[in-house]
Structure 1
Amino acid sequence: MKTTDGAALPAPPLTPVTRRGLLRVGLHVLLAALPLLAISAHVFGLITMNWSAALLVIPLAVTILALSLFDPHPEDRVILHGFVWGIVACALYDVFRLDTVYMLGWWADFIPTMGTWIIGDGSSTAAGAWVGYLWRYIGDGGGIGVTFFVGAAFLGLHRRPAGVVVASAVAFAVFPVWSGLIATVWLAPRGQRMMFPLTPTTLTLSLIGHLIFGLIMGLGFVRTRSAHRYWPWTPVVDWFVPAEPRAERTLRVAHPAAARTPAPRPSLSGPQPVVRAAAPARERPHVVPPPPLPSGHPSAPLPRQHPSGPLPVSTASPATTGPHPRTGSGPLPVAAAARSDGPSTSSQPRPGQTRTGTSSGPSTGSTTLDPETWALWQRQLATTVKGRRTHRWR
């Protein structure tokens, strides 16, 4: 089924089988089984095919045809495919059967005789052949195809591999179809006289013909298995499987799954929002730090000679422990200006004396450095490459 723009419509959701749906499909299966049952009933002498065709088969066929035209249902598509493939399989079966009947003469053709049972025993063989083959293709072949396709849809065979489907179709053509035919001929008092005698030749030829019929019907089912997405009911095999959200069945997780949010229960008030599973949590890789390099390694960090920050005041002579100012630019600035936290200029020490008081910076002869300048000077010394003279007053 496609929309006006060519996009495929999604298949309708599956629902449990209802009484109304079961009655509708039951009518299709009953009509499909009546042509074969009418032959057995006629051979056993229960009811003639003239009466069964006039009172049962034809009225029921007209009723179901009108129901499918004026009240179509999704399962009608599957039933129609089964009807068509049953006719095709019966025609290919007759290619083999008529070859052995009219060209090889290994057994007789009882289909024209069966046609005379339908329209009356006094009819001609030619008219009986037309009616008999029409009954065979539409009633027998189409009916068997409908029965198999409906049973396969209820059992969920459209979800199985092609080999399983074809094997199931061949098995259905052998039992109950072929076995029912042989049982009718063998058990009925007039079966072998009215239909065909049971000999190794007739048994073998009829079995081969039904194997061909089942093979073609199974291949047709495989070819048109996409029509089963219109089947509105849940297959029987799913009735015994615990209910599970459909999204959980097809979810594939490549990483360890995290805790999932439980699916909400269906409500009768309306559709519920879809709850998606939480994304799996990814673990961060554990990075192992490399071992520390030895102190003499070329790539090892340089050792810090002096800690950053102000150093304590040294009691040694400034001439031997303090850094030497650059002589080309004059004496270093003296922290003699008025500061909020420093001493006044009137209390400067004389040359050769060490300043004592609140200042924590070292003295350089007649001047005293403030703590910030001294800390900046020491940081420059600690970060300067050895052998290069880069300290200038900035």
Structure 2
Amino acid sequence: MSAPSPATNSTSPLPPVTNATSPPPPATKATSPPPPATNAPAPTTPSPPANATTPPPPPPTAPTESPPPPPSPGSGTLPTKTNVAIIVGVGIGGFSMLVFVSIFFFFYRRRKRRQQGRPYEYPHEPKNDQFSGQPQHLQQNYTPPLADKVEIYSKPAHFPVPSSTSSSLSSEKPPSGQSPGIAFGSSQITFTYEELLMATNGFSNANLLGQGGFGYVHKGVLPNGKVVAIKQLKAGSGQGEREFQAEIEVISRVHHRHLVSLVGHCISGAQRMLIYEFVPNDTLEFHLHGKGRPTMNWPTRLKIALGSAKGLAYLHEDCQPKIIHRDIKGSNILLDCNFEAKVADFGLAKVSLDTDTHVSTRVMGTFGYLAPEYASSGKLTEKSDVFSFGVVLLELITGRQPIDKTQSFTDDSMVEWA
């Protein structure tokens, strides 16, 4: 009985052979695309990874949506950007400030060197031989009537230069045998006292123009018909002969349309006089505060302000060394027939060096116009002139006098009132 079972077992291998022949049907099934498509879900049988229903867990793990974390580092980059912007801005600002300061000091040093390096001369100086006689404007406008009364410095004459006036003058002292006027390239007409006495009709009151800080001013007519203003300095005005001669040599070369020009001078014993061009239309003070005077219109006031400012700026900036006026006020601003301003009475102004910060001297000026620091300390700078000119501008704008005694004690000063 056991033998047949092996026979059956031997026949059992045949079905695998039939199974081997079964490949054709799959081929036929291959020809039937639709079933495979339907069986496509069957491939989902790989879904036995359906046990990998774990995919649902991954969605829960969706909280791992890392997008939120990336923004958190991004938020950290924002402050770093702002910090960089601040640092760049501060750097640019500091560099700009450094460039500005460097440019300022460059131009300041260049201007200072240019002023120190310029020769001692003023613009508009007549171009003539320094040994040939007076400047061209004197040669054209004045003919000496009497050779024994008027002399021109054509021959060398030694005038010592006072060291108290300016170290610049003493350092440029001419060689022995030459006058300062010859050394500086100009000359002055010297009048005798007798000639000026005749020109003013004995300094009569009819020819009296006014009284300045240093003395009386008379109108005079020279023998050639030229009208001049003769300032007769008071005795003891603080000017020695040497200082007087040195300063008139300096101011003789100051030529500007808004400055009163010096024509000549006279030294006779204790008498000292300065001869200026005559300006016919009185002073700014007269037109602002004179009785019965019409109100000055605004264009005229502006013209006077600009003209006097140009004259003062010429003294401070274009003269080398600079000239400080020391007494800017309405009565020292003269007006011609067209109301063009001319600054006067700078004939005895102190001459200061650019290297000096101030000139210490006795206080000179007019109360109401004086700068407070100058009045209290006596230290003189061009800023003192600027303060006084500011008072003149207030006077032009308001029409008030610097010191108005008709007002109460607290309002009598125009500066304090303003």
Normalised-by-shorter TM-score class: under 0.3
Task: Give the structure-1-normalised TM-score.
Answer: 0.20
Q: Which has the higher strand share?
A: 2
